[in-house]
Amino acid sequence: MLHIRFLARRIIGNELLQSRLRSAGPATNLPQRQLQFSAFLSKRRKTAEEKHAVEFAPKKKNKPQTSGVVDIWRNMTVADLARSCQLELEHIQEVMLYVKGAGSIDATARLEDPKVIKDIAAKCGLKTKIVAAPVDETEEVLKDRDVVPRPPPASENLKERPPVVTVMGHVDHGKTTLLDSLRGASVAAGEAGGITQHIGAFTVELDNGERVTFLDTPGHAAFSAMRARGANLTDIIVLVVAAEDGVMEQTKEVLRLAKEQSVPIIVAINKIDKPGADVERVKKELSQHGIALEGYGGDTIAVGISALHGTNLDELTEAVSTQATLMGLKGEYVGPVEGVVVESKIDSHRGKLSTAIVSRGTLRKGAILVSGQAWAKVRGLFDHAGQPISAVTPGMPVEILGWRELPLAGDMILEVESERVASSVLRWRANQAMKEKALSDAEAISLKRKEHEEQYREERDKSRRSGFYRRKQQGPRQKEAAPDDGKPRINVIVKGDVHGSVEAILDVLETYDDNERCRLDVIHYAVGDVNESDLELARLFDAIIYAFSVNVGSKATKGVTIRPVDIIYRLVDDLKKEINAKLPLVDVEEEIGEANVLQLFDINEGRRKVTVLGCRCTKGLLKKAHKYKVKRNGELLADELSLESMRHLKNEVDSVKKDVECGLRLNDQTLELKAGDTIVCYQINREPQQTEWDPGF
């Protein structure tokens, strides 16, 4: 039947074509018409065969895709995975029941862990390839927008998290040594001068199996801003107080910060094994500063320890664990990541890094983060020992690699969906920063404009009073005539290892208030090693480069002063020396000797009558070549006098010692002196000046 239908169609088509050819024209065009007929026949045959194959092909049942590579991305939904795999949603949901950590099988549930997504696809017989999240090209971003933290989580999504404990206290009270003993490492030896220069964050596993995140903040006065950031991050403060020193300045500051942030305190009274330790005195001092300790009518725990020898550390950790349990600390492990930048730095090998503590969500490699006006696509996560980790949960510290710009310490970290959203957020924040700067500058601009208008009115009124022909400015223009003020100047470039160190150094330099004698200008500051741009700036401005715990490199440094430092004390001391060297020498008066006027003698010298002072040297030494001044009853009568003659008996001498009588004739004979006046011999010395700058330590 099939062949009959096919032949019938072919015969009918041939007859129709023959009739068309007969009506087409004379026989002279026969070869061309034959070619057209052949092409037409071939086309009709091919069309018929294709139609036959479609109509009579055996019906096949659609089967799910069981091989190939599918695209996956972070935070994709279950429905997105089903569409990417070209499988039914029910099929994916059934597979998820057999995958560990898959979570909810709802179609809108998000799969945060790429490893879980790979496991689901593998059980479906598929290979995967991680790609960027697809963007709907039809969706137009109308305007830039900001990103803000999520609303508080639902109680059913909360799980227990490790507490964040900040160790605070006065400088050299043993904070870092305490942390060394807790985690079994030696950090204090690695810090310059045994002083913590920046915040250290790490996790410690206690003997009872619980994990605690510790923050070690500097105790030095210059790092108060860094200590304040530590107080904002922390759940519990361990206040370290030396048993032999008691409450010091930074101890009071920690108490104030804890009170402002409403953070519970555990007091660790350190160095109880040292001579002069008095634990009871320390407790009484703390009570006087508002800390209600146990046994003194309060509930604040105080533990006497020896961080160096490990005495009573178990009791301290138990107190931390108990306090954390009472607080019931919990966090949300799902959803976009939120956290806080603890510190940031530039590594010469790995690039821009930041130490952060995650407060919400689970941070994994590949996440897009925004912090302040910086953003990152996370390329690596590392713990405090530099070991790579795959996921970071709430309460854990982490070192993040992949920042495009260096974030500022203390800024909040928020996760966004894509790089496109991150760019939108950064544009919005940059625009807001410009608006805020414009508003802050508006007052200064208004004041400057008012001063300019007043000056203009004064000059206009003056020119009107002087007449038309005298309005032209007399003499050189102000810009051409303004000479250099002649004040010495020191230009400084600050390069530091981390943002917190640079910030602390700048805070110290802002305390400089001796600009009347010598100006101090910071022309550039940044985080990272000294580079070629810094050297060019130093040559251009004749500046000193202070390299704070960073590498100088092997670049050509000819003509550039570079001072590598690792302790802020030494940086300030060196800067004081530079300032003192710039200050001009000053005249300092030094008294050499004194003499009392016993009697006045009037003698004739030629035709001139002169007065000779009969004196006795009562102190020091009198020298003829030095200057003299006269005092009466402690009040100065005259100074900058010189001697025309100094005689002992009848001999002219150059000096007179103590308790020796002499005759002195001053060059100024107009002075009316009396017996009992005091003659002071002095000299002027040129001595260097000392700056009065006191940064507070």
Contact between 163 and 329 (Cβ < 8 Å): yes
Q: Return the CATH number at 269.
A: 3.40.50.300
Domain of residue 676, residue span? 586-688
Residue 683 confidence class, pLDDT cut points 50, 70, 90 = very high
Final residue of a domain: which of 298, 314, 332?
Answer: 332
Final residue of a domain: which of 300, 332, 364?
Answer: 332
**What does the alpha-carbon distance between residue 412 and residue 415 come to, in Å, rounded to a whole number?**
10
Residue 298 clears pLDDT 80, i.e. is over it: no
In a domain, 552, yes or no: yes
Claim to verify: residue 620 and residue 537 sit in the same structural domain: no
| Rounded mean pLDDT, 81-109 | 86
Residue 44 clears pLDDT 70, i.e. is over it: no
Rounded to a whole number of angstroms, the distance between the first and last alpha carbons of the chain is 109
Claim to verify: residue 592 and residue 554 sit in the same structural domain: no
In a domain, 430, yes or no: no
Final residue of a domain: which of 280, 315, 332?
Answer: 332
In a domain, 462, yes or no: no
Domain count, the chain: 5
In a domain, 302, yes or no: yes
Q: Which of 223-232, 365-374, 442-451, 471-480 has the lowest mean pLDDT?
A: 471-480
Closest alpha carbon to 415 in 360, 373, 452: 360
**3-state SS assignment for residue 137:** coil
Claim to verify: residue 318 and residue 348 sit in the same structural domain: no
Claim to verify: residue 327 and residue 387 sit in the same structural domain: no
State pTM to two decimals: 0.61
- Residue-level pLDDT at 3: 45
In a domain, 146, yes or no: no
pLDDT in tens, 544-571: 999 998 888 766 677 889 999 888 888 8
In a domain, 696, yes or no: no
pLDDT in tens, 232-282: 678 888 888 888 888 888 788 888 878 877 888 888 888 888 887 888 888
In a domain, 13, yes or no: no
Claim to verify: residue 407 and residue 351 sit in the same structural domain: yes
Burial of 389 (C-beta count, 10 Å sphere; 0-12/13-18/19+): middle
- Residue-level pLDDT at 694: 81
Contact between 268 and 240 (Cβ < 8 Å): yes
- Residue-level pLDDT at 104: 77
Claim to verify: residue 306 and residue 178 sit in the same structural domain: yes
pLDDT in tens, 644-667: 999 998 899 999 999 999 999 998
| Rounded mean pLDDT, 300-317 | 84
Instruction: Give strand pairing partners of 398.
Output: 356
